[in-house]
Amino acid sequence: MATYIAKRLFSMIPVLLVVSVVVFLLVHLVPGDPAAVMLGSEATPQQLAELQEELGLNKPLLEQFLNWFVHMISGDLGNSLVSDKEVTTLIIERLPATMALILYALLISVVIAIPLGIISAVRHNTRWDYTAMLVALIGVSIPNFWAGLLLIMAFSLHLGWFPSTGYVEITKNIWNHFAHLALPAFALGFLQAGIVTRMTRSSMLEVLKQDYIRTIRAKGGTEKVVILKHALKNSMIPIITIIGINFGLLLGGTVVVETIFSIPGIGQLLVQSVFNRDYPVIQGVILCIAVIYVLISLMVDLLYAYFDPKIDYNEG
């Protein structure tokens, strides 16, 4: 297992190398000059040239990339062009809010989706199945930004149950922490719940048709044991896969939701950095997202071995 993990971590290097090259090129193709954004429309050409030279923006693109890449592999993502703070510090400050939002959204999606998927598969072609699929279809169809606005109107403006914007750290006030993240987490999680519900239903239906399920029932196994111990466990591989993919989708989805709910996460940081043409921050945030996504992919592969004993990463 340790050898497999080491190989997977080593394989991250070429992936991150490609990501760094692509991100750097795409960021520098974005129209606009960071120096012009920082100085404003009244800046003189001389002031622009001086600031470009100070920031190193007048150097050839290849030289800028090599300089950034050498510092990046040593753990230095550079400084923000706007605030002059270290990019690593900015990410560390913003990452907890984003990770909390994603984890709560995943929890909400799983709590909704797994039971609905099981009910839909067990009560196949009944009103329970149709109702569960209708809920899943609604979840898949509603964009998270629109769901967020509807939740703010209903539960914040009209009912006053939850705050509409802001973020409170869990260490400062646990109740306010959950209250501020409840609506954005549900806006993200409900969409993912629809996807996971459909996958759970499909996977469960396939497993329930297998011969060993009929054998367990013939031997007197109760329906609860058949469904939860045997059918669900053997259905988990595709479900875990889609949850892992959803984690990556949520990393992107937080950009919109964090902006709507004014949550100071890396999604909001990325949006602000794009508007400010803050190249180092944009590159650092996207690279951080890529690293998290690769690590989540590794965790999903390790969970495969837990749910399917036939998978043995110690071999070879």
What is the structure's pLDDT at 244? 80
252-297 per-position pLDDT tens digit: 777 788 888 888 888 888 888 877 777 778 888 888 888 888 888 7
Long-range contacts of 94-98 (CB under 8 A, 24+ apart): 94/264, 94/265, 94/266, 94/268, 94/269, 95/265, 95/266, 95/288, 96/169, 97/167, 97/258, 97/263, 97/264, 97/265, 98/251, 98/254, 98/258, 98/263, 98/265, 98/266, 98/267
Does residue 194 carry a pLDDT above 60?
yes
What is the structure's pLDDT at 229? 74
Report residue 314 CA to chain centroid gap: 29
The pLDDT confidence band at residue 174, using thresholds 50, 70 and 90, is: confident
Q: What is the mean pLDDT of the chain?
A: 78
What is the structure's pLDDT at 191? 80
What is the structure's pLDDT at 223? 72
pTM over 0.85: no
Long-range contacts of 175-183 (CB under 8 A, 24+ apart): 177/100, 178/104, 180/261, 180/263, 181/100, 181/101, 181/104, 181/263, 182/104, 183/148, 183/151, 183/152, 183/155, 183/156, 183/261
